[in-house]
DNA sequence: ACCTGAACACCGTTCAAGT
DNA sequence: ACCTGAACACCGTTCAAGT
């Protein structure tokens, strides 16, 4: 996969797809965007620990240090990947909720959408939640926490609606949301780890969980 | 933290604690054991991504390749760390169950014990569940899956007891256990990530979750 | 502004050699 | 058996230099 004879040929760099470079001498239309997308692609295909800056550079036909014009370091790249992940997740949760109206069906649809996002983008999800980003990375990218809070907020809002409809007990909606979040997060993580493969389709487990939770948090 | 001037001095290796070497010319009483413990220590103190083979070697006053006598590679070391983690987790679950008898109190005690283990050994827990180990690592260490199944089995057994006592609805106990597992795993992961720090003590969330689940899975 | 190549200080892993 | 030092093929990051 990698040339085994270092510094041998003269300049056989730039492995693939030079058509990626739009025009202009040597800059992309939007290197930053391209970097982000390439990172997500290799992360989802091969896992975070396989992502190398030199690799994404090569994929884009760009030097391995070009990235530093757009991100402080590797960690900043990953933080941005996570931020966009939270944004996408929030949009998909809202869409699921909208498409199914409120009530129990809407609640289960959101749960399914959450787990579907995680299972559909396992490595992306892991960058968001897998402890890959440290405190410094969070501090350097305030938008990350914001988007994370936004995704969580979608859950809280849905719960509040259910409470107003008299479908859910009037506990603190934040505590309720944290509980629900734990469940879908737990299912997602176990599914991503392949630990649920012996136990039938994940959708079935999500449905079962949503039913049991529904009973557990129903208004009395 | 690391000497910045490479290959300068003659042999200022062996940074700390030569008293660690028992006797004999140059082997430990049990290098394998020492390696495992040193790995867990630095993992819990600094995180998995900070664990280097050269580092644990130096900590033990041993060459950086000595490890290869006891483990195939870094991944095999981590797999063994995970295996021991599952073993400890299972023992702590059983102990919590035993100490509180069956019933709801025993169930909540197990839940608390699970999350306590995770929060008490965050990086260790992440090696077990964080997707650090790939399929090859699992294939190379069959005991890992066994211990994982053992820990899960403790949960299933507890659920079966609750069913027999008429306290839990008679769904498939494995499906019930997977659901419960998702909840405690989700709480653990979010707690480890520091995402619950704004929402009060984790114990409170676990108690709340156990209550709501208890209602949700109660025998009708 | 944006990009490059060379250099630096790390890694994990292999291997011939020592006892 | 168990351990070592040197070497190899990688990393992320910095920096002077190019356009």
Q: What single string gives the DSSP state of each residue in B93-150?
A: HHHHHHHH-SHHHHHHHHHHHHHHHHHHSHHHHHHHHSS-S-HHHHHH-HHHHHHHHH
Which backbone phi and psi does B170 adopt, to 5 degrees?
-90, 55
Structure tokens at B35: 């390696």
Q: Is A216 on the interface with B (CB under 8 A)?
A: yes
Q: Supply the pLDDT for residue B216.
A: 85
For strand D, the positions having any atom within 7 A of a protein Cβ are: 2-6, 9-15
Q: Could you read off the pLDDT of B89-110 as tens digits, one per residue?
A: 999 999 999 999 878 899 899 9
CB atoms inside a 10 Å sphere around CB B30 = 12
The answer to whether A81 CB is within 7 Å of strand D is no
Structure tokens at A193: 């780890």
The crossing angle, in degrees rounded to 10, of helices A122-129 and A74-100 is 110
Q: Provide residues 23-42 of A with CB closer than 7 Å to any strand C atom.
A: 26-28, 31
Distance of CA B174 to CAs A138, A193, B61, B161, Å?
38, 18, 47, 13
The answer to whether A50 CB is within 7 Å of strand D is no
Q: Which of B122, B131, B134 sits opposite A126 (nearest CB)?
A: B131
Distance (Å) from the alpha carbon of A200 to chain B's nearest alpha carbon: 9
Q: Could you read off the pLDDT of B118-129 as tens digits, one per residue?
A: 999 988 899 999
* pLDDT at B151 > cutoff 80: yes
Nucleotide nearest residue B24, measured CA to C1': D2
> With the C-alpha atoms ordered A182, A188, A190, A195, is the resulting torsion angle positive or negative?
positive
Structure tokens at A93: 């949760």
Spell out the per-residue pLDDT of chain A, length 220, in tens: 322 333 333 333 333 333 333 333 455 678 999 999 999 999 888 888 889 999 999 888 888 899 999 999 999 999 999 999 999 999 999 999 999 987 889 989 999 999 999 999 988 899 999 888 888 899 999 999 999 999 999 999 999 999 999 999 999 988 999 999 999 999 999 999 888 988 899 999 999 999 999 888 888 7
Between these two residues, A26 and B52, which has the higher pLDDT value?
A: B52
């Amino acid at each position: 996969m990698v040339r085994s004879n270092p510094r041998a040929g003269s300049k056989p760099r730039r492995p693939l797809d030079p058509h990626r470079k739009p025009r202009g001498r040597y800059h992309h239309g939007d290197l930053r965007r391209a970097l982000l997308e390439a990172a997500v692609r290799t992360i989802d295909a091969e896992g975070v620990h396989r992502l190398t800056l030199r690799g994404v550079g090569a994929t884009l036909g760009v030097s391995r240090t070009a990235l530093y014009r757009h991100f402080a370091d590797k960690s900043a790249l990953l933080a941005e990947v996570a931020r966009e992940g939270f944004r996408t997740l929030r949009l998909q949760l809202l869409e699921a909720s909208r498409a199914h109206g409120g009530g129990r069906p809407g609640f289960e649809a959101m749960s399914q959408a959450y787990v579907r996002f995680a299972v559909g983008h396992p490595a992306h999800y892991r960058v968001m939640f897998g402890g890959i980003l440290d405190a410094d990375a969070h501090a350097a990218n305030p938008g990350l926490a914001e988007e994370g809070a936004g995704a969580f907020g979608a859950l809280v809002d849905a719960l509040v609606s259910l409470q107003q409809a008299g479908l859910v007990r009037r506990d603190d909606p934040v505590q309720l949301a944290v509980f629900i979040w734990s469940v879908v997060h737990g299912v997602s993580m176990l599914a991503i780890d392949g630990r649920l493969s012996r136990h039938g389709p994940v959708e079935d487990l999500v449905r079962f969980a949503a039913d049991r939770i529904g009973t557990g948090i129903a208004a009395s």
